[in-house]
Amino acid sequence: MKRVMLTVAYDGTNYHGWQLQSNGISIEEVLNRCLTELLKEPVQVIGASRTDSGVHAFGNIAVFDTQARIPGDKFSYALNQRLPEDIRIRGSREVPLTFHPRKTDSVKTYEYRILNEEFPNPVKRLYSHFTYLPLDEKKMNEGAKFLIGEHDFKSFCSVNAQVESTVRTIYSCEVQREGTELVIRISGGGFLYNMVRIIAGTLMEVGNGKYPPEAVADILKAKERTAAGPTAPARGLTLISYEFPELKDSSERQEIL
């Protein structure tokens, strides 16, 4: 028996998120089906991040166990011949049987992309959130600095989330302008349900002048969801990468930038 880790990229537009759903097809369902067909044995992947419906990924992580003799680094080639074109394996490798992507320390990086033009661009409609309101990225960056460090992010968590603690650690958060697009890039040790999208919605309110940058600190202290901005739409969000300190060896470390 061996455990194989996959780096999975996908366009989330046509899927009901990562996790198996009774009301629609999911990324997990497609991976399970293709692996089961390939290996002729029942396979159920374990995903590192259960992204929501419409959210995209460049570097989500999944692991599965198999008796197959296929080398770990060859699974990406075999799977990509079976997967639909909006899901691709960007890399595969064997990892220790004890490795679990949700039960080990990790650094997770997201990007939220905002199209800030006078009119929507149909070519970018599936991968960014459009707003015609002018956004000041300098003020957004000032506000983002208050999020860095260990804080109670209850104000930035969906009210329906069931978690033991709402304390999380953010390592970096910055806003960059790329032409008429703004990109919020945030890295942390873990995120609450809808946390990144609520942060994005709040920073956009800072950018359009509704809140001053220092209001982000007050929102954190409030520990109340109604204190923060709206939850930004899923289509602007992409899971960029995972890093696992447990996989320290250069041959096992997973880092997609």
Residue 58: the pLDDT is 97
Residue 159 buriedness (CB in 10 A; 0-12 / 13-18 / 19+): exposed
CA distance 58 to 9: 4
CB atoms within 10 A of CB 171: 13
Q: Where are the domains of the chain?
A: 2-104, 107-239
CATH number given to 107-239: 3.30.70.660
**Would residue 52 show up in a list of annotated catalytic residues for this protein?**
yes
257 or 154, which is more confident?
A: 154
| Averaged pLDDT score across all residues of the chain | 94
Residue 161: the pLDDT is 80
Q: Which contiguous run of DSSP H or E holds residue 57?
A: strand 56-66
Of 11, 52, 65, 86, which is the active-site residue? Answer: 52
- The contacts of residue 71 (CB under 8 Å, 6+ apart) are 94
Residue 162: the pLDDT is 83
Domain 2-104 and domain 107-239 have a common topology: yes
User: How does pLDDT run across 160-202, given as a tens digit for each residue?
Assistant: 888 899 999 999 999 999 999 999 999 999 999 999 999 999 9
CA distance 218 to 222: 6
Give the alpha-carbon dihedral of 168, 172, 177, 183, to 10 degrees.
Answer: -40
Residue 93: pLDDT band with limits 50, 70, 90: very high
Q: What is the mean pLDDT of residues 145-150?
A: 98
User: How does pLDDT run across 59-87, given as a tens digit for each residue?
Assistant: 999 999 999 999 999 999 999 999 999 99
User: How does pLDDT run across 126-141, given as a tens digit for each residue?
Assistant: 999 999 999 999 999 9
Note whether 106 and 244 are within 8 A (CB): yes
CATH number given to 2-104: 3.30.70.580
pLDDT-wise least confident of 84-88, 184-188, 207-211, 247-251:
247-251
CA distance 154 to 224: 6
112 is in an annotated binding site: no
Note whether 246 and 105 are within 8 A (CB): yes
Note whether 14 and 85 are within 8 A (CB): no
Residues pairing with 9 in the sheet? 88
- Tokens coding 175: 């806003």
For the entire predicted model, the pTM comes to 0.93
Between the alpha carbon of residue 71 and those of residues 79, 92, 99, the distances in Å are 13, 9, 18
Residue 257 has pLDDT above 90, yes or no: no
User: How does pLDDT run across 18-68, given as a tens digit for each residue?
Assistant: 999 988 999 999 999 999 999 999 999 999 999 999 999 999 999 999 999
**Radius of gyration, alpha carbons of the chain:** 19
DSSP 202-231: HHHHHHTTSS-TTHHHHHHHHT-GGGS---
Residue 251 has pLDDT above 50, yes or no: no
Residue 116: the pLDDT is 98
HEC-encoded secondary structure of 5-45: EEEEEECHHHCCCCCCCCCCCCHHHHHHHHHHHHHCCCCCC
Note whether 18 and 49 are within 8 A (CB): yes
177-204: string of b/e by CB count within 10 Å (b at 16+)? eeeebbbbbbbbebbbbbbbbbbbbbbb
Residue 249: the pLDDT is 56
Residue 22: the pLDDT is 87
